[in-house]
A and B are shown apart, each in its own frame.
Chain A
């Protein structure tokens, strides 16, 4: 069970120079596997399904190609010279290589090489927000003008397992830069981390395992509420101060319940709640919810985002939308455009697309 060191009090993460989001971009592949298709194969179509459908990558897609498109959308919105990007950091559970960075291919593809940091981040579903915290520090210290942080996944569930209904594909890229150029300022963040055995995958295993009794209360709910409450307490804010909130979304129930626990109304989380139509996008989940919110946000809107990564930890962010948002929203495809671009597939096609067929 997670315990808190009584001596440590919540301390906000705030850089010396204010930092914000200068560009952002989403990506969702076009294929959809309806949950009823999974149920048709494994339960004879009986029983309820946790979501409507999930996004599935095409045969020529992976975290590298999906990150490239999200990054290009972020660049379209920011209109900066990619040569000024000093870090390309990609958080994922499904990097195509065990050894060889996703981030170098992404950096090369968007023209950010060679004067840049590049690395892949790993912390289950919060690898992407961890990269954002680091990017805020990198920009806020004055070491970099811009840093690109991406959360992207092509999640896999064991055939017939509950996770197979929800393990989706997608994510978003965020270009961090000086607050003065930003469409949304990151006022502060706060991270809450413990060693909790709720979910893991060993290197040789294709599919993840979960520690049944650890998945809900001691993991997801504990970390998100601790991080969210500490952030609001230190910022001296209430749930009503935020126009929108977005939480990690492994299914439809968890984010709705954690929102209620923290004092948020459904209307605040609805625009960023995408899991029912794209599935759980793991390291991309909270971030693509944020991109959907930024697509419709107005200047002055305040947003609370709290991610969750198994193992376990949460990053909470207090975000303030600026005047610059209105011009930049329309410079690239929006999250809903990707969600609307939809080709339904059956279970057999899904099995082929996800490489679940063994031919040797």
Chain B
């Protein structure tokens, strides 16, 4: 059981909330209170846009315990538009072939169950292929 850790990480996990450095404006994720660019203190919260691209990826067939229910799944290094590279699962892939450089967007999904079916459900960010917002008004096809 890691309930305290899940609770502490909820803001960054649900909504991709990191930090911005007040000295050099670097965007920081995950939040670590010290800017990795200039080494000074950075505690201002920053809401990431959720947009990014696939930097690298691999498909997991032998999943660690807790993730086996959703195997096989694809894990990617995602380069966020704001700079940081983070590790996350890709989701809603089915027909879309994953490619390096593929634009993706953050969604909040169920990551796993903490323990058995009696345990806490753990939610957090994943990335899916970017869904363009079409700019046309059309009636639904029937």
Closest B residue to A105 by beta carbon equals B123
Closest B residue to A270 by beta carbon equals B142
Residues A295 and B137 in contact, CB atoms below 8 Å apart:
yes
Residues B92 and A64 in contact, CB atoms below 8 Å apart:
no
* A interface footprint on B91-111 (CB within 8 Å = 1, 0 otherwise): 110110000000000011111
Residues A111 and B15 in contact, CB atoms below 8 Å apart:
yes
For the complex, what is the distance from the CA of A312 to the CA of B98, rounded to whole Å?
A: 47
Given A65-B108, A65-B123, A333-B91 contact (CB < 8 Å): no
Closest A residue to B17 by beta carbon equals A111
Q: Which of B15, B69, B107 contacts A65 (CB 8 A)?
A: B107
* Chain A 43-80 interface residues, beta-carbon cutoff 8 Å to B: 58-62, 64-65, 68-69
Instruction: Report if A323 contacts B (CB, 8 A).
Output: no
For the complex, what is the distance from the CA of A330 to the CA of B132, rounded to whole Å?
A: 11
* Chain B 21-74 interface residues, beta-carbon cutoff 8 Å to A: 47, 69-70
* B interface footprint on A310-343 (CB within 8 Å = 1, 0 otherwise): 0000000000000000000111111111010101
Instruction: Report if A235 contacts B (CB, 8 A).
Output: no
For the complex, what is the distance from the CA of A274 to the CA of B47, rounded to whole Å?
A: 35
How many residue-residue contacts, CB under 8 A, span A and B? Answer: 78
Closest A residue to B94 by beta carbon equals A343
Instruction: Report if A108 contacts B (CB, 8 A).
Output: yes
| Nearest CB of B to A80, in Å | 15
Instruction: Report if A96 contacts B (CB, 8 A).
Output: yes
Instruction: Report if A109 contacts B (CB, 8 A).
Output: yes
Residues A292 and B10 in contact, CB atoms below 8 Å apart:
no
* B interface footprint on A272-290 (CB within 8 Å = 1, 0 otherwise): 0110100000000000000
Instruction: Report if A171 contacts B (CB, 8 A).
Output: no
Instruction: Report if A110 contacts B (CB, 8 A).
Output: yes
Q: List chain A residues, Cβ under 8 A from B70.
A: 59-60
Residues A330 and B133 in contact, CB atoms below 8 Å apart:
yes
Residues A336 and B140 in contact, CB atoms below 8 Å apart:
yes
Interface size, chain A (Cβ < 8 Å): 37
| Nearest CB of B to A331, in Å | 8
Residues B140 and A60 in contact, CB atoms below 8 Å apart:
no
Q: Give the interface centre of A109, A271, A292 by most chain B CB atoms within 10 Å.
A: A109
Residues A30 and B133 in contact, CB atoms below 8 Å apart:
no
Instruction: Report if B1 contacts A (CB, 8 A).
Output: no
Given A58-B91, A109-B15, A292-B140 contact (CB < 8 Å): yes
Given A60-B110, A61-B109, A65-B107, A296-B94 contact (CB < 8 Å): no
* Chain A 126-144 interface residues, beta-carbon cutoff 8 Å to B: none
Q: List chain A residues, Cβ under 8 A from B109.
A: 58, 60-61, 65
* B interface footprint on A249-271 (CB within 8 Å = 1, 0 otherwise): 00000000000000000000011
Closest B residue to A62 by beta carbon equals B110
For the complex, what is the distance from the CA of A271 to the CA of B141, rounded to whole Å?
A: 9
Q: Which of B108, B133, B134, B135 contacts A69 (CB 8 A)?
A: B108
Q: Interface residues, chain B, CB within 8 Å of chain A?
A: 10-11, 14-15, 47, 69-70, 89, 91-92, 94-95, 107-111, 121, 123, 126, 131, 133-135, 137-142
Q: Interface residues, chain A, CB within 8 Å of chain B?
A: 30, 58-62, 64-65, 68-69, 96-97, 105, 108-111, 270-271, 273-274, 276, 292, 295-296, 329-337, 339, 341, 343
Question: 8 tightest A-B contacts by CB?
Answer: A60-B109, A109-B14, A343-B94, A60-B110, A336-B140, A68-B108, A59-B70, A65-B109
